[in-house]
Amino acid sequence: MTESVVRENQLIKRTLDDLPQPKGWPLLGNFLQLQSKNLHQVLEQWCLEYGDTYKVDIAGLLFVVIADPVVVKDILRRRPKSFNRTASLERVFKELGIHGVLSANGESWKRQRRLIMPAFSKKSLASFFPLLEQTTERLRLRLVKKRGQDTLAIHDDLRRFTVDITTSLVFGHDTRLLEHDGDGLQKHLEVIFPQLNSRTRMPFPYWQYIKFKKDRKLDQALIEVEKYALKIVEQTRDELQFNPQLADAPETILQAMVAASDDDNRLTNEELFANILTLLLAGEDTTSNLIAWMLYFISQRPDIQCKINEEAEQIRLKHKGQINVQGLDELTYLEAVARETLRLKSTAPMISAETADQVTLLDGTELPAGTGLFLMTRLGGLNKEHFKDAEQFRPERWQEEAVAAEACPHKATSHFPFGGGARHCPGETLAFMETKMVIAMLCQQFDISQPESPPVVEEYAITMRPKNLQICLRLKPVGR
């Protein structure tokens, strides 16, 4: 939608009643159609059939689905004043004791966001770089041991990597999952994620009355994670008592939070636990999925692996044989590969929101307070009007020269892999740092290919992952 169309639309008002709706079932509405593991694809497909703004009925609850990037961007920008996270997300997270910065609204969100942001500054992340380097080396050692295997379900290794990184950064405590083969924290998180996803879309909280096997598994996973988190909180309290100057110059997000809980603005143990789990959930799956999707693409393209490797070699030569923190910024081709992956396979392809007041959207739709919204943040990136040959994987389109040459339409602001406005993802820089380190290491060490396996498909559980991904890693001869 262009600016002038926006102005015109504001004159053509419509209400919730006027919006089209896909045909559903009596009483249940579209509930059954939306229970699938590719919810985002169902909603995206309906955008093509019913237009950029339509409604769905989840057993009596109406949600509005919005795809136009101009309207989506405006909503993201008008948070937190006019739009909130949804009440259902807040309710489910609260009930499970995970009500941290991701699900909170209002003053509680502001306070928690203020506390976590310093840890994501460029300066903090630069001081964290040696740990990132060591953890990447530990992932390398783990994968070298597995080099003989014909096929590798690498996702598990990647998740171990991102959990080790996130726990180190957030709590200063390395879970060292990369050194073990058994189930660990990542297995509990694997139980929690899909369950959170399906509960936020349940019109009726059945689990308050009857618990199925999956609900009992969720309870158990939460108990295990809570045990882990409370132990870490205790350790952090001890560190602060032993070393009080840490309160003024905290080294981890948790130290900052515990230190802040001693002033008037107290963070309770529940809030601390909620944010530990929130950051683990927000940081772990999103990033390991991005790396996995990048491997999906580059394992089919030896030419791209070659280019990544050449660029990384140049940077190593420039910085005394190593990719240092400045060198990471200079890996522009690799960054383009990550951005192109996010365009086609955004690991967060939709964001939910809720109107805080009665609002009018930029397309002229008037909505009452409390209306749930699904913002389809990936769809604009798949649109041929915004990207030439939109269905093709072409990292070059993100490089400055290509953007400057008008031969390639390039509308970077038509999709929002990290959201936008005041609630924009704070972990974006960290995610790129992790991704670049891992992919540069893999392309240096291995020839990466895809073995015969069932087709890789998108699976949605708040984040979007490649189901069935198998990779084949062949160690490169030394000196090649």
Quick one: which segment of 148-156, 192-200, 319-327, 417-425 binds ligand HEM (CB under 6 A)? 417-425
Angle at which helices 269-298 and 428-445 cross, to 10°: 40
Q: List beta partners, residue 449.
A: 472
- As a 3-state breakdown, the chain gives helix, strand, coil percent values, each rounded to 5, of 55, 10, 35
Quick one: which segment of 123-131, 299-307, 356-364, 418-426 binds ligand HEM (CB under 6 A)? 418-426
252 binds ligand HEM (CB under 6 A): no
Say how far apart CA 16 and CA 63 lie, in whole Å.
9
Binders of ligand HEM among 272-301, rule CB under 6 A? 279, 282-283, 286-287, 290
Quick one: which segment of 86-94, 199-207, 378-386, 412-420 binds ligand HEM (CB under 6 A)? 412-420
CB of 255 to ligand HEM, least distance (A): 16
CB of 278 to ligand HEM, least distance (A): 6
Based on CB atoms, which residue is closest to ligand HEM, 287 or 470?
287
CB of 418 to ligand HEM, least distance (A): 5
Quick one: which segment of 65-73, 223-231, 389-397, 420-428 binds ligand HEM (CB under 6 A)? 420-428
418 binds ligand HEM (CB under 6 A): yes
Say how far apart CA 167 and CA 450 lie, in whole Å.
31
Say how far apart CA 469 and CA 471 lie, in whole Å.
7
Q: Is 425 annotated as a binding residue?
A: yes
CB of 274 to ligand HEM, least distance (A): 11
CA angle 197, 455, 280 (to 5 degrees): 30
Say how far apart CA 444 and CA 308 lie, in whole Å.
9
Quick one: which segment of 91-99, 142-150, 359-367, 414-422 binds ligand HEM (CB under 6 A)? 414-422
Say how far apart CA 289 and CA 282 lie, in whole Å.
12
- How far lies 463's CA from each of 194, 285, 290, 346, in Å? 9, 7, 10, 9
Say how far apart CA 156 and CA 145 lie, in whole Å.
15
Site track 136-175 with ligand HEM (rule: CB under 6 A), x = hit: ------------------------------x---------
Say how far apart CA 12 and CA 432 lie, in whole Å.
42
80 binds ligand HEM (CB under 6 A): no
Quick one: which segment of 27-35, 316-324, 395-403, 411-419 binds ligand HEM (CB under 6 A)? 411-419
111 binds ligand HEM (CB under 6 A): no
CB of 82 to ligand HEM, least distance (A): 14
Instruction: Retrieve residue 54's tokens.
Output: 């339509």
Q: List beta partners, residue 359.
A: 367
DSSP 274-313: HHHHHHHHHHHHHHHHHHHHHHHHHTT-HHHHHHHHHHHH
- How far lies 197's CA from each of 76, 109, 201, in Å? 21, 21, 7
427 binds ligand HEM (CB under 6 A): yes
CB of 20 to ligand HEM, least distance (A): 26
Q: Which of 37, 77, 111, 113 binds ligand HEM (CB under 6 A)?
A: 113
Binders of ligand HEM among 349-408, rule CB under 6 A? 351
Phi-psi region of 104 (alpha: psi -120 to 50; beta: other; left: phi over 0): beta
Binding site feature residues for heme: 425
**Residues that bind ligand HEM in the complex, under the rule CB under 6 A:** 76, 101-102, 113, 166, 279, 282-283, 286-287, 290, 347-348, 351, 417-420, 423-427, 430-431
